[in-house]
Amino acid sequence: MVEIVEAKFITSAPNVAAAPESDKQDEVVFMARSNVGKSSLLNALTDHKGLAKVSSTPGKTRLINYFDVTFMDRDNDGAKLHAKFVDLPGFGYAKVSKSIKHDWEKNLTDYVAGREQIRLFIHLIDCRHPHLDIDTQVSEFLFDNVRENQVILQIFTKIDKLNQKEQNALRKEFPLAMTVSSSKKRGTHKINRVIHDILKEVEDEMQEDMSDADNI
Ligand code: GDP
């Protein structure tokens, strides 16, 4: 099993220009419409109740929040792996003015398209509304903009809200997506394993490159 053994808030940034400097490709970006369950998932994955604030006012926070996260792989001698979780502001919240909405969306798209440190994009979708235009737009935007060394993962949240038959239909329609219930803690271990393994590939490649360089 892979667990997150340490998680702490590092900083907030208003835009990509203010994002922390880093020469690693170790960022996991979480994106979702407001209220889809992003904060709850961050808290569940890190087993840290107050890490990301569960929103009482949806869409209010517009900063990009960074968390330092340490994974431990219990199936591999407790090997540790460091990463950054990036909590992007919720998008598509209707009750903000058009100009704020425009700035904000530009900010998000700049971030997603311009930040090379991102390894993995996690797009969270409410399992009860799998076909909203805004989510389709986000998916298309991601597919059009990701680099070769970046991965996209779709996760359906609040899966406890669907009965077994509805869950089966969703899984059939989206065979590559994962599902989770943060409140029932279902699916969180599997997600941590997948995130860890995707990040580990980058680390392994860097180590190979370094040993190749040593051998020249
Ligand atoms: P955010 O705006 O995307 O960060 O969403 P929050 O994590 O603040 O969650 C929004 C609401 O959905 C809150 O009332 C949560 O308690 C609820 N919620 C989040 N995850 C789940 C889940 O897995 N199952 C259920 N039933 N409710 C959830």
Rounded to the nearest angstrom, the distance between the alpha carbon of 52 and the centre of ligand 1 is 12
Say which DSSP state 18 is in: G
> Higher pLDDT residue, 32 or 100?
32
What pLDDT sits at residue 23?
A: 92
> Higher pLDDT residue, 113 or 21?
21
On average, the pLDDT of the chain sits at 89
Position in ligand 1 atom list of the atom nearest CA 33: 3
Dihedral of CA 207/176/108/126: which sign?
Answer: negative
Rounded to the nearest angstrom, the distance between the alpha carbon of 70 and the centre of ligand 1 is 24
What pLDDT sits at residue 62?
A: 73
Average pLDDT over residues 30-41: 93
Please report which confidence band the pLDDT of residue 141 belongs to, taking 50, 70 and 90 as the band edges.
confident
Q: Are 52 and 88 in contact (CB under 8 A)?
A: no
Report the nearest-CA residue for atom 24 of ligand 1. 158
What pLDDT sits at residue 100?
A: 62
- Among 23-27, 50-54, 100-104, the minimum mean pLDDT is found in 100-104
Q: Give every strand in the sheet of 79-87, ordered side by side.
A: 2-13, 64-73, 79-87, 27-32, 118-126, 151-157, 178-179
Provide the 3-class DSSP secondary structure of residue 122: strand
Question: Which pTM does this prediction carry?
Answer: 0.91
Phi, psi dihedrals of residue 83, rounded to the nearest 5°: -150, 170
Distance (Å, rounded) from C-alpha 194 to C-alpha 71?
Answer: 12
Rounded to the nearest angstrom, the distance between the alpha carbon of 37 and the centre of ligand 1 is 4
What pLDDT sits at residue 182?
A: 97
Q: What tokens were used for 88? A: 């992007």
What pLDDT sits at residue 59?
A: 47
Report the nearest-CA residue for atom 22 of ligand 1. 158
Q: Are 72 and 95 in contact (CB under 8 A)?
A: no
Average pLDDT over residues 104-113: 76
Give ligand 1 pocket residues (Cβ under 6 A): 32, 34-40, 54-55, 58, 90, 157-158, 160-161, 181-183
Average pLDDT over residues 99-128: 84
pLDDT-above-70 percentage for the chain: 90
